[in-house]
Chains A and B, each alone.
Chain A
Amino acid sequence: MRVTRRGFTALGAAAIGSAGLGVRPARSTEVKLTFYYPIAVGGPITKIVDGYAKRFAELHPGIMIEPVYTGSYQDTMTKTLTALKGGNPPHLAVLLAVDTFTLYDEDAIVPFDELVQSEADRAWMKSFYPAFLENGAIDGKTWGIPFQRSTPVLYWNKEAFAEAGLDPERPPATWDEQVEFAKKLTKRDSAGNVTQYGIQIPSSGFPYWLFQGLVIQNGGQLMNAAGNEVYFDTPEVVEALQYQVDLARKHGAMAPGIIEWGTTPKDFFERRTAMMWTTTGNLTNVRNNAPFPFGVAMLPAKKRRGAPTGGGNLFIFKRATPAERQAAFTFVRWLTSPEMAADWGIATGYVATSPAAWETPAMKKYVAEFPPATVARDQLQYAKAELSTHENQRVTKVFNDGLQAALTLAKSPAQAMKDAQAEAMRILAPYR
């Protein structure tokens, strides 16, 4: 099973989902809400979401949620914006947390600050891990509530560690150890060709995400909170890029060129790489498919530990009537309650979004059975907001192009970052 963070999904699950969408007769008092959601991990997600809608309907007879599976994150964003321009957006949707600026600039969404009423509501808004709220905040208001969130972690092959004479229970904790271990783990055949690389940090599609982990570890950050300035050409970023380039080119411990995100877990299973960086969303995939004992660890530190957050937030759309907005708010409030957040995290592998969720009995039982599930949670205290700006897709693309130019040796890291910085600041000029 190939799992991507924001990519392709099981068609089978979609089929089950559409079959499960029964038509119920609407009562006159009922508020009917359309809920767009993407799928970016394996598993019967549509079934779970339909089940949630049903449970919610039993608890709140006046509100009917109609979940609509809308493909990948990218597809969901495309469908939402198209529907918005056609004057018929959904009432609420799960979209990438980094698309908050885009939705804000389209004047499409309402801040949750306008929807909270009671003290309990206000407390609820503060109940999430702060790192997960960062990407949803603009102008001091909260526009997105964390729902299916993730963060990258390091997976390692314990068998390969033992073969290389390393302690199989101790993952690299620093950048230097990471290089040292990776070099020891790299195996060559008699002709000098590599049969097993030490590490793989994927760089296809959205290389910025994993790379941002290196930047944060090096004490830097890629953008400001207002989303109108980027810091691509700072020494912290250039050094981090040099480190990633060197892993392949200088130390020979990682495959040169662009490493495909989608096939990286498979490379790990095939023992082509002894360590990999990928999302926590792959946890269940690795658990089911790795033919050897494996470990999950926080990303190694340079000046500090660090990782970006990732994944999707819940958004409520402006076009809905006040009654519909309040109904949508009630649903969001219920869906992100500790019990539901725990349930969703266990079912999917996403990181449960609030500390309270980790204190629920169900979650405690799950963690006792499968301790690696806590690694991502424990890493959250070091996590920072994912790269997100105005004109987000375009700025991110400029940055990705720069990273790939450096990784393929078309430009030096300093030059690539300087060019990306100039272009990104030009794009962001109207927002300053």
Chain B
Amino acid sequence: MDRRIQAVYGWLLALPACVLLAAFTHWPAVASLIDSFWSTPRGRRPAQFVGFEHYRRMLADDPIFLQVVWNNFLYALVTVPAAIGLALLMALLVNERIRARGLVRLAYFTPTVLPMVAAANIWLFFYTPGYGLLNQILSAFGLPDTNFLGSRDTALWSVMVVTIWKEAGFFMIFYLAALQAIPPVLEEAARLEGASHLVYLRRVALPLLMPTTLFVLVNALIGAFRVVDHVVAMTQGGPDNASALLLFYIYETAFRFWDTGYASALTVVLLLVLGGISIAQVRLLDRRIHYR
């Protein structure tokens, strides 16, 4: 009797979270999957079952889809390692006894506090041709004016820089916390054994930071597929889709073209990608990670 009441009590406690998760995460995912097999309903023509037509179109008929997938892949491949590397460097630096440590920590963390759209607008000014900050610096060295966001070769890279700048500070916090959790005796012991600072880093600190790295990596990769505010604010995916990412394309398809059927199919692809990343990372990296 007592146990049953406890069970009911437990379920009641879990209920709000379950309802929210089901209503806003699980059901939309399932609904997207179902909708992806139907054509988009319009006022004058109802939805029809089309099977795998949307998926066929994606692979065979939609060069923009292939381009945004490639863009997103490149974007993740560059921003994730760069942001993590930079975060680790910054964390190591502000973990040392340097002057004005608090200020430096604050400075590194500031980009994280800014909303993405605000950050994008600041960078929009940096990138402006002619009188933008970067071009003023370039012209001081006599270099030609560059239209960073308006050229096919530089647009995606310019967006990547904003991401790295913004994410690194956030990941630094995790590394900093993890660094401070490493017992100082380990470093003292390493020193006694005659290990150099670099060897200590490579053999002791980094392995101990691996759980943090996994956590940060999963977050960074998911973020690379999930955050597109700066694309909306800075380039609208242009020029000619050179800086469009998958989620931006989904938004465009769903809320500008109102092609909800195709957008559902694209969403399913995004879900598969994100699910795949998480599973692969946990499976592959788990073996090499040293938990205490």
Which residues of A come within 8 Å of B, CB atoms? Answer: 74, 78, 81, 102, 105-108, 191, 193-194, 203-205, 255-260, 263, 267, 270, 272, 391, 393-394, 397, 400-402, 404-405, 407-408, 410
Contact = CB atoms under 8 A, between A and B. Distances in A.
B43 interface: yes
A160 to B, nearest CB: 15
B44 interface: yes
B145 interface: yes
B44 A105 contact: yes
B128 A408 contact: no
Contacts of A393: 256-258
Contacts of B128: 260, 263
Interface of B: 42-44, 64, 128-131, 139, 142, 144-145, 147, 149-152, 235-236, 238-242, 252, 255-259
18 contacts: A102-B258, A105-B42, A106-B42, A107-B43, A107-B44, A191-B142, A203-B150, A255-B145, A256-B151, A257-B150, A257-B239, A259-B150, A260-B149, A397-B252, A404-B239, A407-B239, A408-B239, A408-B240
Nearest to A204: B238
B256 A74 contact: yes
Contact of A105 (B43, B144, B239, B241): B43
Nearest to B62: A423
Contacts of A391: 257
B151 A257 contact: yes
A397 B147 contact: no
Contact of B152 (A102, A105, A408): A408
B228 to A, nearest CB: 15
B241 A258 contact: no
Nearest to B241: A401
A7 to B, nearest CB: 10
**Residue among B130, B144, B241 having the largest count of chain A Cβ atoms under 10 Å:** B130
B131 A204 contact: no
Contacts of B255: 78
A397 B236 CA distance: 11
Given A205-B236, A272-B130, A393-B257, A255 B147 contact: yes
B236 A204 contact: yes
A18 B258 CA distance: 29
Contact of B145 (A102, A194, A407): A194
